[in-house]
Amino acid sequence: MTAVYVATFGMLSVAGLLTVVRLVRGPRTLDRVLALDVLLVLIVAGAAASIAVTGRGLVVAVLLSVALLSFIGSISAIRLVERWEGHR
């Protein structure tokens, strides 16, 4: 099972690096908002995998809260960008 956890964290790390590249390079604002949302999802997935490794389920409520706030924040940012770019 240790190899599975190492592979999981390795894939999450590579996905995180690629997402940070997309976040920095852009080119549009919506690309950056989407990259930030994907990065938050990867962080939640990494924390969930960490919970699976350690067996401690005390932070599940925190993970759900972060995931919900990430979703609401992404929807709000997308709506704001659409309105802002619609006025141009």
Degrees to nearest 5, angle at CA 64 with 61 and 29 = 145
Domain range annotation of the chain: 2-86
Q: What is the pLDDT of residues 30-46, one digit of tens each?
A: 888 889 989 999 999 99
Q: How many helices, marked H, and strands, marked E, lie in the chain?
A: 3, 0
Selected residue with higher pLDDT from 67 and 17: 17
Given a cut of 90, whether residue 67 has pLDDT beyond it is: no
